[in-house]
Amino acid sequence: MPSILSISQVSKTYASGHKALDHVDLEIERGEIFALLGPNGAGKTTLISIICGIVTPSTGTILVDGHDAIRQPREARSRIGLVPQEIAVDMFSTVGSTLRFSRGLFGKAPNQPYLDEVLKDLSLWDKRDSKIMELSGGMKRRVMIAKALSHEPDILFLDEPTAGVDVSLRRDMWKMIGRLRERGTTIILTTHYIEEAEEMADRVGVINKGQLLLVEGKTELMKKLGKREMDISLVEPMATVPAELGEWHLTLEDDGHRLRYVFDAQAERTGIPSLLRKLSDLGIGFKDLDTSKSSLEDIFVDLVEHREASNEGAAA
Amino acid sequence: MTGVNLHGIWAIYRFEMARTLRTLWQSIATPVITTSLYFIVFGGAIGSRIESIGDVNYGSFLVPGLIMLSLLTQSIANASIGIYFPKFTGTVFELLSAPISAVEMVIGFVGAAATKSIVIGLIILATSAFFVPLRIDHPLAMLAFLVLTSITFSMFGFIIGIWANGFEQLNIVPALLVTPLTFLGGAFYSIDMLPEPWRTVSLFNPVVYLVSGFRWSFFGAGDVDIWWSLGFTGAFLALCLGLIIAIFKTGYRLKN
């Protein structure tokens, strides 16, 4: 099946001369959850805004379900729902009326039962007749999501969905995303919280300074770049790492109470058995062992630094 | 979805009309009070010392001018705030990302602004009936001018709303351009009453043609030929429409 969203060679240079996107290519599969990960100012929002028709690209083409977003905006846009980063909604309208407005704006015939369902899904049912200005910030954010869903989009964009969001809304949002995925909705979210991508996404794209550094299945990405750490809690604290343990490049943590060993989980020989043997040979007692995966955060920092280092190398 | 996004047009129109209805009393009370004041001051106090203009007494002569004055200012105010406010609050993102064409969006916004202006024009007409004898020679032409002027100046207001970068700018064009041109456009007098060269200068004021055409529909005579009036109104309408289409094509002040 062809991808539901096909982005090729999209660049954007703003009037100020700032190059926000640099020849981005990206294919989004039907029904997947894709996380676009990058620091602030990386170009995430610009990319989303271009796909949704709010920003005009300098170059490149975008196909939404086979429809050119520039030449066939009607077909392309009616398939897309957007939840922007900022809360922007008419404060004087009621929750119910703003949903009917959004649905109509996107060219869909009224369907109150469907909108009622959206309201209930997002715990907005009790607030349906309230004016939006009377709602709390979290509730307003729910309204933004409800508006984006009001026209039954095939693709939902969530721009920084959990920025400044409380735990209950976060949980509701994950649940909602789960339900949407069951219905076959494609979801693209941007985030600079790595846990968010790690928790939800099928695939992750890493973007920095307008360039898409890599796109990879989340688990493959973790495997490929996943380093693991083993913390060894010592019975007796030590001042320095004994020279005999030099080959493992250990570091001392927690005032000498813990030894940390960083290893590659994919490597044929992890070095763990030999390390443990050596420890007992040296009579170093330990009471606990703890291994952990490196987070996407570490991976991301690695990637960006590696990239910058290689760029500098090329320039020199 | 193909063809016209009727649901989208209707959604915008309803949204804009809901905005008007929220302030219903001030929407109606303002023109009624303003018109009454004009009739008391110009029609009653000053008008009693002014002779009839042509065969029309001065009080009745004022009616088309007063309606036109409100029509222009109200149309511009309604339509400009209608599009400026979403820009200001950020809700414009939804309009820009929606599968709705420039023309459809304009029909929704301008249609609602023009509807309000037409209603206000009719309210002023009804109010004036309490003060002066009404005479409308060409009621159909009167309605046509009412509708055409409301639409044209709502479009003009829409353009101002897109252009404006602040609430001050929103008021600059109406205050510095439209109100003076209306006052000097024969709303309260016939330009034939002006000495030369001011009479000739007045002919460069576009509002003269609007007021004159509208007045013709009431009394069968205006300052300039009715076809000039119609032609000018049509030309201004086409100009505004062209500007709006250009704005959406280029994304001027709407998109980056």
The span from the CA of A269 to the CA of A262, in Å, is: 13
Residue B127 placed within a domain: yes
Structure token digits, residue A249: 């490049």
Window from A138-142, A191-195, B44-48 with minimum mean pLDDT:
B44-48
Residue B255 placed within a domain: no
What was the pLDDT predicted at A312? Answer: 60
Q: How far is B255 from chain A (nearest CA, A)?
A: 6
SS (H, E, C) A239-302: CCCCHHHHHHCCEEEHHHCEEEEEEECCCCCCCHHHHHHHHHHCCCCEEEEEEEECCHHHHHHH
The residue range of the domain holding B227 is 6-250
User: Counting beta carbons within 10 angstroms of the beta carbon of residue A30, is it exposed (0 to 12), middle (13 to 18) or buried (19 or more)?
Assistant: middle
Q: What is the dihedral of CA B130, B131, B132, B138, to 10 degrees?
A: -50
pLDDT in tens, B186-229: 888 888 788 888 888 888 888 888 888 999 999 888 888 888 88
What was the pLDDT predicted at A196? Answer: 76
Number of Cβ within a 10 Å radius of residue A289: 12
Mutate: best of B94, B95, B248, partner A, most A CBs <10 A: B94
| Chain B residues within an 8 Å CB radius of A17 | none
Contact (CB<8Å) A109/B7: yes
Contact (CB<8Å) B89/A90: yes
Q: How far is B237 from chain A (nearest CA, A)?
A: 26
Contact (CB<8Å) B94/A102: yes
What was the pLDDT predicted at B36? Answer: 84
Residue B182 placed within a domain: yes
DSSP state of B56: B
Window from A112-126, A140-154, A172-186, B188-202 with minimum mean pLDDT:
B188-202
Q: Is the ipTM of this complex over 0.90?
A: no
Ordered structural domains, chain A, with CATH? 5-223 (3.40.50.300), 227-293 (3.30.70)
Residue B109 placed within a domain: yes
Residue B14 placed within a domain: yes
> Is-contact A157 A82, C-beta < 8 A?
yes
The rounded mean pLDDT for chain A is 87
What total of structural domains would you count in chain B? 1
User: Counting beta carbons within 10 angstroms of the beta carbon of residue A130, is it exposed (0 to 12), middle (13 to 18) or buried (19 or more)?
Assistant: middle
Residue B98 placed within a domain: yes
Contact (CB<8Å) B256/A15: yes
pLDDT in tens, B87-109: 999 999 999 999 998 889 999 99
**Cβ pairs bridging A and B (under 8 Å):** 90
Q: Is the pLDDT of residue A236 over 70?
A: yes
> Is-contact B130 B171, C-beta < 8 A?
no
Contact (CB<8Å) B8/A106: yes
pLDDT in tens, A66-95: 999 988 989 999 999 999 988 899 999 999
Residue B1 placed within a domain: no
Residue B81 placed within a domain: yes
